[in-house]
Amino acid sequence: MRPPIAKFIREVSEKMSTPAKKSTAARSRWSQPVWVVPGVLIALLLIVLFTKWLTGLPGVQTFLHDFPGASSLPANAPVGFPAWLGWQHFLNVFFMVLIVRSGWQVRTAKRPPAQWTRNNKGFIRTKNPPTKISLDLWFHLTLDALWVLNGIVFVIVIFATGQWMRIIPTSWDVFPNAVSAALQYASLNWPTEDGWVNYNALQLLTYFVTVFIAAPLAIISGLRTSSAWPKTAGTVNKIYPIELARAVHFPVMVYFVLFTIVHVTLVLATGALRNLNHMYGGSDEINWVGFGIFAVSLLVIAGAWFLARPLFLRPIASLMGKVSK
């Protein structure tokens, strides 16, 4: 008999992995945009009114005073962002966009545009003959490798320079402060921006979750589903079944997409020029330098998106293996 957890995982992964036909239940009136849009707006309005009332209470006011929304950083924490961080950030965006897209193609392609077989004489050599994978999957895995490399460099350098203190909580008061920041956002009385020096606690926790939880989850679930994972690792494969990895991989992607939407929205809504200068311009000034670099980086990403088609991927893929039909 299957243990219930395995059954649950299987059900979830089945739901996740097969784009099922729309059932009649999914077409209920709640899924109609005409209901959803006003519904969401009313819910948001209620949240705002509720938190406005809540933050007016004396006890909550004391809480907000005690926990202003940001934990204080250690004294030796660096101020501002160096150029290498902006560069790492750009590469991360670049890879992530293409990874999500190629991953989506791997999921949805009924017939891949081409197949790729690694030639076992080059950089990576294995005892067993390499398996044939689709060109989409080759692109996804190649980007993954570059993204992971970029991530490793990032982690090493943030620990070497002390930048880690900006995105890893250093005291427990980060949690009440995060609640405080959430109340301030929800009551439309947004916390004061000081991103050059210190993030607010909610922001810090979100960045921490993204870098140190979501990214590793994406990597280990991706590794498990890839053909690089040994098929004969009996006990390990029983503890960590491929169905679990599949059930994790897709929701993590959804998390990254939602994070990006909220992140970009807040960056643009809380002093766009200054925020963009922080990450792209490496300064705390308010001018168009960071915006310009950001705009160029978007053009580069759009260009890569446009060029990432079989016609141009095939010649690159054939440098590392055999491209066939």
Residue numbers at the binding site for another protein (CB under 8 A): 111, 114, 310-312, 314-315, 323-325
* Shortest separation between residue 305's beta carbon and another protein, angstroms: 17
Strands 321-324 and 132-134: unpaired
Q: How far is the CB of 323 from another protein (least distance, A)?
A: 7
**Rounded Cα–Cα distance for residues 120 and 133 (Å):** 14
For tokens 């991953």, name the residue: 103
Count of CA atoms in the C-beta half-sphere (13 A) of 26: 4
| Strands in the chain per DSSP E | 115-118, 132-134, 321-324
Q: How far is the CB of 114 from another protein (least distance, A)?
A: 7
Which residue's CB is nearer to another protein, number 15 or number 309? Answer: 309
Smallest separation, CB 152 to another protein (Å): 34
CA atoms within 13 A on the CB side of 217: 18
In the complex, what is the shortest distance from the CB of residue 303 to another protein, in angstroms, rounded to a whole number?
15
Sign of CA dihedral 160, 165, 169, 171: positive
Report d(CA 47, CA 59) in Å as an integer.
Answer: 19
Instruction: Choose between 105 and 277: whose C-beta lies nearer to another protein.
Output: 105
Nearer to another protein, 289 or 320 (CB): 320
CB of 17 to another protein, least distance (A): 21
Our CB check for another protein shows the closer of 3 and 315 to be: 315
CA-CA distances (angstroms) from residue 143 to 64, 93, 97, 125, 130? Answer: 44, 12, 10, 19, 19
Compute the least distance from the CB of residue 116 to another protein, in Å. Answer: 12
Please give the sequence-ordered ranges of beta strands (E in DSSP) within 121-182, or none if there are none. 132-134
Nearer to another protein, 112 or 271 (CB): 112
Give whichever of 117 and 260 is closer to another protein, judged by the CB atom. 117
Residues in contact with 77: Cβ distance below 8 Å, sequence separation at least 6, in sequence order: 162, 165, 166, 198
State the DSSP H helix or E strand holding residue 9, giving kind and residue range, or none if neither.
Answer: helix 4-17
Shortest Å distance, C-beta 105 to another protein = 17
Total H helices, total E strands in the chain: 14, 3
Nearer to another protein, 80 or 113 (CB): 113
Convert 19-44 to b/e letters by CB count within 10 Å (16 or more is b).
Answer: eeeeeeeeeeeeeeeeeeeeeeeeee
Between 65 and 325, CB nearer to another protein: 325
Rounded to the nearest whole angstrom, what is the least distance from the CB of residue 325 to another protein in the complex?
Answer: 6
Closer to another protein at the Cβ: 6 or 304? 304
321 φ/ψ angles, rounded to the nearest 5 degrees = 180, -165
Assess contact for 207 and 263: CB atoms under 8 A.
Answer: no
Q: Name residue 72's amino acid.
A: S
